[in-house]
Structure 1
């Protein structure tokens, strides 16, 4: 298993690999190679559309800030209208990818953007300063900056700036939720949050990574505890940093009225029961805290086996939402759009 292999690597070497951006760039390149090979063998048409995007319905590498080239968006939108009368605006899905705070990239999720566009949404894949280019504080800030850019500019791409769904997966769900809770000024227009297999309690997830044996090569510790780079040691300061960076703890300590203002009217949390990368308890605990604060939250736990941690995103990119569209991310997004519509009709 991965934990057994990681335990064979000396701690100093594991930390050196973890702290080098080149290591994660190579990891992303390998992911591209493996994914591309699999697509070439199973669905070459999808691979072709991924490698040769239409410039009229896709805008890549759009900067939303200037501190780093990682602060860029890929936008998937209807083709530019040929007449001065544009079509009605579409709901906007802003997607924040995961990758243990250190890897993954907006490029790897191009198929997700294409599929969401084909389903009638304007999709925005958010790039952000991954560790070691940025710690969680910078990543949370980047999500807020990206939402601000969307609010001000997405209308030019056929999107409804007042109807934005923020979707995050894994560590992307973590920083998206944390951004909503702490970057309130940038959240106007965000009508719903969908958290997929998210990490909401950093301290508990660190314990889980330790049991798995991956804690020294994972970026969780340095990305969530900035003091580690300055020679800090594990202990009270690290625990406090983990709590400050945990949406579960932030929400628990927040006044009900402030929480109501920070979070959008629709919040849906989704997790697969057989997820062994981020255990389902992370989502359940966050749900219980929000519910205890009087929020109307939807929780969906998928029973059985098959999807695990990454399967929910693969399904969304590749299709396979089933005859009735139930128990899938596509179904969740469609239901979320309907919930937002109902609230808007009521003036909420």
Structure 2
């Protein structure tokens, strides 16, 4: 009977410990603990890390590339950019995003960028472009398909991802084509937040020469890659009006776009629903996966294709 007790109690203790870590992460926004709990629930057997690299001299200019275990590729690539108010965060803490997406057939790149106070706008966009330059140059050697790249980000990372897709200049400076991106997934992103009224935006954008040019809503264009904009009606950090405003501007510009507002979801809850055990609420992943499948399906030009000049 003793072995029966232990085979029951030990798994229950592990689950309880993991859930406790998640509750602490929920209370403190400690993403590293969120990732540790997800690893406890999911394990690492479904994924493998195929590359760790720096695309610049700063320690924050780093990335990781993850593939499904056993996959040979070439696989469509999701480049995930973390949040943290442009002043905190580490891509290594977001491996739960790779565990959520890679088993569905995607190569996942977790990309970091320089943070305040060491960097201000437009450093986060320059770094996003630098990370994509690395992807264009090296991802194929590790099993990714540079002709099928989707950007994805949460909060500040969603801002970075959307701006890289809408304002062509940032990728253009790296010799890349923003128009070759297959799509963008923005989770609880700030897209229309001028005038700057929070420490995070004041610190990172307050010295911008043209504040209006920092706003994604002012770069809406009808020939942009498709956008999936998710927000929660309980988000008081980045209010849903950001997604609604950008969707309206994109639609007016000729790219019909809908903001999806999830009931009862707050700011951190949006990304937490990609990690176990919170992924039992599958509304986020159930919106993301069909979008990824749709936009990465057909063949198209690689992001490193020559940049074509277009009128705005």
1:283 aligns to what?
243
8 A Cα contact 1:161 1:189, kept in partner:
no
8 A Cα contact 1:78 1:157, kept in partner:
no
Residue 268 (str. 1) matches residue 267 (str. 2): no
Alpha-carbon shift at residue 270 of structure 1 (Å): 1.0
Judging by fraction of residues, say which structure has more helix. Answer: 1
Structure 1 CA distance for aligned equivalents of residues 35 and 69 of structure 2: 26
Structure 2 CA distance for aligned equivalents of residues 36 and 161 of structure 1: 27
Please list, as runs of the form range in 1=range in 2, the aligned pairs for 1:239-258 lying within 5 A after superposition.
241-251=210-220, 256=221
Structural RMSD (CA)? 2.9
- 1:148 is aligned, of 125, 128, 133, to 133
Alignment: residue pair count: 266
Task: Name the TM-score, length of structure 1 as normaliser.
Answer: 0.68
Task: Name the TM-score, length of structure 2 as normaliser.
Answer: 0.75
1:112 aligns to what?
97
Please list, as runs of the form range in 1=range in 2, the aligned pairs for 1:1-348 lying within 5 A after superposition.
31=30, 35=34, 39=37, 45-46=40-41, 49=43, 57-59=48-50, 61-66=52-57, 68-79=58-69, 87-180=72-165, 181=167, 182-185=169-172, 186=176, 187=178, 189-204=180-195, 206-207=196-197, 215=198, 218-226=199-207, 241-251=210-220, 256=221, 260=223, 263-264=224-225, 266-302=226-262, 304-305=263-264, 307-318=265-276, 328-341=283-296, 344=299
Residues 39-90 of structure 1, C-alpha deviation per residue, up to 9 Å, x if partnerless?
3xxx77249x5xxx68x92146411223x11111011114577xxxxx3422
Q: Quickly say closer, same or farther: Cα 1:98–1:309, change in 2 above 3 A.
A: same
Residues 127-176 of structure 1, C-alpha deviation per residue, up to 9 Å, x if partnerless?
00011121120111111111121122111221111111100111111122
1:13 aligns to what?
none
Q: Could you list the runs of 4 or more consecutive aligned residues of structure 1 that deviate by over 4 angstroms after TM superposition?
A: 32-37, 319-323, 341-345
Structure 2 CA distance for aligned equivalents of residues 273 and 36 of structure 1: 25
Structure 2 CA distance for aligned equivalents of residues 34 and 341 of structure 1: 32
Alpha-carbon shift at residue 106 of structure 1 (Å): 0.5
Q: Quickly say closer, same or farther: Cα 1:109–1:44, change in 2 above 3 A.
A: closer
8 A Cα contact 2:91 2:110, kept in partner:
yes
8 A Cα contact 2:273 2:280, kept in partner:
no
Alpha-carbon shift at residue 189 of structure 1 (Å): 4.2
Alpha-carbon shift at residue 112 of structure 1 (Å): 1.5
Question: What 5-or-longer segments of structure 1 have no aligned partner?
Answer: 1-28, 82-86, 208-214, 227-237
